[in-house]
Every structure is written in structure tokens, then in C-alpha cells.
């Protein structure tokens, strides 16, 4: 074995670099790690915004929060996704979809392009979150009643019917809002354009065609134009593996 002092300077530096990497645990080497689930619309929004912002060093970890994985609980005691963990000697965690989205666009200097541009877009975003919250409440009710989000016994309860009615009314409101501004959203897509896509595809996954309507053609048009955008297409509900694209995300 050649002593370090006998190695040429270049080889010595490479050896020291290797030793340095070996001494740093993997958990401290990553730059950013985003924990998501294959179905959560909240996690999908955070994921889409991080990808659209092209956050450098982003690693996407797909897991099932219902199983309380220790890795998730370590970073987010609430046991929920999304959770964005920034590596280092003292890792920091940002939770909740809007906070992560805000961090992503500001860190990347993309707020002007990707964030809400005016009051009208914020109003649209609020309607979308109302729909997501109502749908998530029904899923929680299913879990409490039957132990599975796929069992629909809870859906006939007064609480669930109230949530379903709220979803229908909110979708109609969303259609009216889009009738005045869908062209701009399609031409300059940002968070206000991505949210309706996330809403529609989540509802279709959980409720099939229950909330579909031929009268909401502005909403349908927006979804059809944007749904194949890489950040949306590669995070479609039930995705089990994220495939990086154009330097967005890592293996």
C-alpha cells in the first residue's frame, strides 16, 4: 500500500476527496429531498412547482404516508406529505404545499413567471383548494368508516353529501372564472393554471366521472392543453416512479 505522502499531488487530492465523501453519511450529502405520495394533490402541487422552478439538486421520494414511514416522521412529525427537506449538518424541513411552492419559485427566481400574478388568479387558486379540501375530507371519512379510501359507504352520509355538493358548486364557479382568463393561463402557465389540472385529475382518480360535466368546457380545454406538460404528466396520480426531465429532479 502506497502511503499518501508518496502519491502524486493530483492522485492525493482525488484520494482525499474520496475519503471525505465516504466519511459523510448519505443522509447529509443530499441537497433537497421532496417527500410525496402517488395520490396526494397537495404533494403533487408542491412537486409540480419544484419541477417547474427547476430546483437544483432536487430528489423526489415517493412513499405512502398512511404507513407512517419513519423517514417521513423524522422530518415531519405530522406524518403528512408534502415535506421538503434541505440537507446538510442541520437539515431543515418545509411542509405544506403552498409554503413549498412559494419557497421553490423564490429560490429559483421564478416567482414572476410561476406565482399568482393578480387577485383573479388568487381567487381561482382558493376555489381549487376548496375542492381539494372537500375531496380529501371525503377520503378521510372513507378511511374512518371502512378503513379504505376505495370503500364508498361513507359517501352516502350527510357529511359526505355536503362535501360533494360543495365540490359541484365550486367546479361551476371555477368554470365561470376560467371563462374570463383561461387563454392567459394557457399562454403563461403558472400555479393558477396547474391547480385546475391537479383538481380535475384527482377527482377523476377518486370519483371517476361523478363530477364530469360537458358544460365546463373552459375547464376541460385548460386541462387538455396542459395535462401533458412534463411536470404534470410525470406526476399524474398513481405514479410509482419519477422520471427526471430537462435537468428537473434526479434519479
- Domain locations in the chain as residue ranges: 27-110, 114-229
Per-residue pLDDT for the chain (251 aa), expressed as one digit of tens each? 434 444 344 443 444 344 334 444 444 456 899 999 999 999 999 999 999 999 988 999 999 999 999 999 999 999 999 999 998 778 899 999 999 999 999 999 999 999 999 999 999 999 999 999 999 999 999 999 999 999 999 999 999 999 999 999 999 999 999 998 899 999 999 999 999 999 999 999 999 999 999 999 999 999 999 999 999 999 999 877 776 766 566 54
Q: What is 114-229's CATH number, 1.20.1050.10, 2.60.40.10, 3.40.50.620, 3.30.420.10?
A: 1.20.1050.10
Burial of 52 (0-12, 13-18, 19+ CB in 10 A): buried
Report whether 221 contacts 182 (CB < 8 A). yes
Distance CA 68, CA 240 (A): 18
Question: What CATH architecture applies to the domain 27-110?
Answer: 3-Layer(aba) Sandwich (3.40)
Query: What are the grid coordinates assigned to 149, written together?
Result: 379510501
Query: What are the grid coordinates assigned to 236, written together?
Result: 399524474
Report whether 50 contacts 104 (CB < 8 A). yes
> pTM of the full predicted structure?
0.85
Could you give the 3-state DSSP secondary structure of residue 211? Answer: coil
Residues forming a β-bridge with 83: 35, 95
**Beta strand residue intervals within the chain, DSSP E:** 32-36, 58-62, 83-86, 92-95
Question: Dihedral of the CA atoms 201, 206, 210, 214 (nearest 10)?
Answer: 0
Amino acid at each position: 500500500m502506497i502511503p499518501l505522502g508518496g502519491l502524486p499531488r493530483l492522485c492525493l487530492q482525488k484520494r482525499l476527496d474520496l475519503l471525505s465523501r465516504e466519511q459523510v453519511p448519505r443522509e447529509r450529502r443530499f441537497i433537497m429531498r421532496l417527500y410525496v405520495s402517488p395520490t396526494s394533490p397537495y404533494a403533487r402541487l408542491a412537486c409540480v412547482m419544484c419541477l417547474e422552478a427547476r430546483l437544483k439538486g432536487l430528489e423526489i421520494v415517493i412513499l405512502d404516508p398512511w404507513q407512517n414511514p419513519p423517514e417521513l416522521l423524522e422530518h415531519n412529525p405530522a406524518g403528512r406529505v408534502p415535506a421538503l427537506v434541505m440537507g446538510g449538518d442541520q437539515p431543515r424541513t418545509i411542509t405544506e404545499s403552498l409554503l413549498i411552492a412559494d419557497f421553490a419559485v423564490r429560490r429559483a427566481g421564478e416567482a414572476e413567471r410561476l406565482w399568482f400574478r393578480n387577485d383573479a388568479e388568487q381567487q381561482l387558486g382558493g376555489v381549487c383548494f376548496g375542492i381539494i379540501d372537500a375531496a380529501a375530507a371525503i377520503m378521510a371519512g372513507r378511511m374512518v368508516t371502512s378503513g379504505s379510501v376505495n370503500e364508498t359507504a361513507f359517501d352516502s352520509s350527510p357529511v359526505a353529501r355536503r362535501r360533494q355538493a360543495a365540490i359541484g358548486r365550486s367546479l361551476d364557479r371555477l368554470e365561470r372564472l376560467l371563462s374570463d382568463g383561461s387563454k392567459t393561463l394557457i399562454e403563461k402557465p403558472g400555479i393558477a393554471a396547474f391547480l385546475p389540472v391537479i383538481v380535475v385529475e384527482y377527482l377523476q382518480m377518486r370519483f371517476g366521472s361523478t363530477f364530469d360535466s360537458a358544460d365546463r368546457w373552459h375547464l376541460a380545454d385548460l386541462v387538455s392543453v396542459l395535462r401533458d406538460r412534463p411536470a404534470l404528466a410525470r406526476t399524474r396520480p398513481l405514479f410509482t416512479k419519477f422520471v427526471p426531465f430537462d435537468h428537473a429532479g434526479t434519479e
